[in-house]
Amino acid sequence: MDLQSIKNRFGIIGNSPALNYALEVAVQVANTDLTVLIAGESGVGKEAFSHIIHSLSARKHNPFIAVNCGAIPEGTIDSELFGHEKGSFTGAVDSRKGYFETVNGGTIFLDEIGEMPLGTQARLLRVLESGEFIRVGSSKVQKTDVRVIAATNKDLLQLVQNGRFREDLYYRLNTVPIRVPALRDRKEDIVVLFRKFVVDFAERYKTTPVQLDEEARNILTNHPFPGNVRELKNLAEQISVLARDKQVSARELNRFLPEHTPVNRLPVLAHTNGQETHEFSNEREILYKLFFDMKRDVTELKKLFVEMVQNPAVANQNHSVLAEVRDLQQVGVSTPLIMGNAAQASQPVLMHNTGEIHAHEEVDESLNIMDKEKELIIKALKKHKNKRKDAAMDLGISERTLYRKLKEYDIDQ
């Protein structure tokens, strides 16, 4: 079955390379019994991928159940998943089968797996390794044949380092990883998705579908959508019901878009119950943002200092900037500044605490993003022992793209 047929059958809209790659992996792994870990932000449609995998597998005629691990209280999740015996705890008036018993032969989708308590994780690991489980309050070992598909919107490796997720369970779940891209990473699909949603809502509410003018489409495309496809669908419904005109302008669209606080993509140090925890985006995003911000700041400072060197009157008007540069130097940040005229173009200068400008030795500081990309690719290959497929997945690119980058950067494996 080709990819477009899969999209039509399961209502998947979009044609971005990252989405297509995730679908290709799902189709390839569907007809096996391998455990799959689906990663992606909230609202990207991870559950839809679990349905695709189950429906294309040999288990498609057997039960499928989706369990949100974050929605079940810690005291009852063992009972829900593995069942319990009568009298095993207060309120257990009868024996009860758990999901792993009732879905025998089928597929169980464990959403928000990162919220699962550590004790339950140990029980789940036993099921994955031996197909055995024990009901709460029982000593009888039972067998089950269930395929597990897990999903998370968190960095499980970070949870492992923080002691909140079992390392052995992580590697057991991560047999086949699938990363579903965020909506902001597939901008070419946003307008197409919006159009599909407004047509559906127009049929539901028996109205004419709304349309966006060109400026409104540009605004919609560049909105960050932290809630991803779920947020876009809610927005389409609001506009379909509440828009004053069926031709929606940029001004009208802005009425429905929430004010957005930029998400900090750099490492964040948080304190939880006295313990330090780190929440990171992936390494590539962190480095890209850091390098672009540094390059922009250095460029702006270069322009300003050229003016200050050529015109002392400008320097007198920028005491706050001088103070900021001195502060940067005090914490060890060097600021290469290029003189404006051709004769001095090769002699960088630095501002010292005296407020005077002195010639200084050239600081070799590379902010070339291609160099950093090459460095990350080499690291990924070393990490995965030159296995291109695994390295590409870790980098968040396709294997074909990785092969092209190897050629482009002349990287020997």
Question: What digits encode the pLDDT tens for the residues 36-86?
Answer: 999 999 999 999 999 999 999 999 999 999 999 999 998 899 999 999 998
Task: Decide if pLDDT at 285 tops 80.
Answer: no
Q: Which two tokens stand for residue 213?
A: 């003018």
pLDDT in tens, 167-203: 999 999 999 999 999 999 999 999 999 999 999 999 9
Average pLDDT in the chain: 81
Tell me the pLDDT band of 267, cut-offs 50, 70 and 90: very low
pLDDT digits (tens, 9 = 90+) for 350-399: 444 444 444 444 445 555 677 778 888 888 888 888 888 888 888 888 88
Lowest mean pLDDT among 133-137, 142-146, 316-320, 343-347: 343-347
CA distance linking residue 156 with residue 46, whole number of Å: 16
pLDDT above 50 (res 346): no
Beta strands in 45-146 (DSSP E): 64-68, 107-111, 132-134, 141-143
Angle (deg, nearest 10), helices 369-383 and 399-408 = 120
Give the model's confidence band at 93: pLDDT under 50 very low, under 70 low, under 90 confident, else very high. Answer: confident
Confidence (pLDDT) at 41: 95
Task: Tell me the domains of the chain and their CATH numbers.
Answer: 3-181 (3.40.50.300), 184-256 (1.10.8.60), 284-359 (no CATH), 369-408 (1.10.10)
Residue 322 pLDDT exceeds 60:
no
Say which DSSP state 90 is in: T
pLDDT of 133 reads 96
Poorest-confidence range of 25-34, 119-128, 291-300?
Answer: 291-300
Q: Please give the pLDDT value at position 379.
A: 87
pLDDT class of 117 with cuts at 50, 70, 90 = very high
pTM: 0.62
Q: What percentage of the chain carries pLDDT values higher than 90?
A: 58
The CA–CA distances, whole Å, from 223 to 40, 216, 253, 262, 332 equal 18, 11, 11, 11, 37
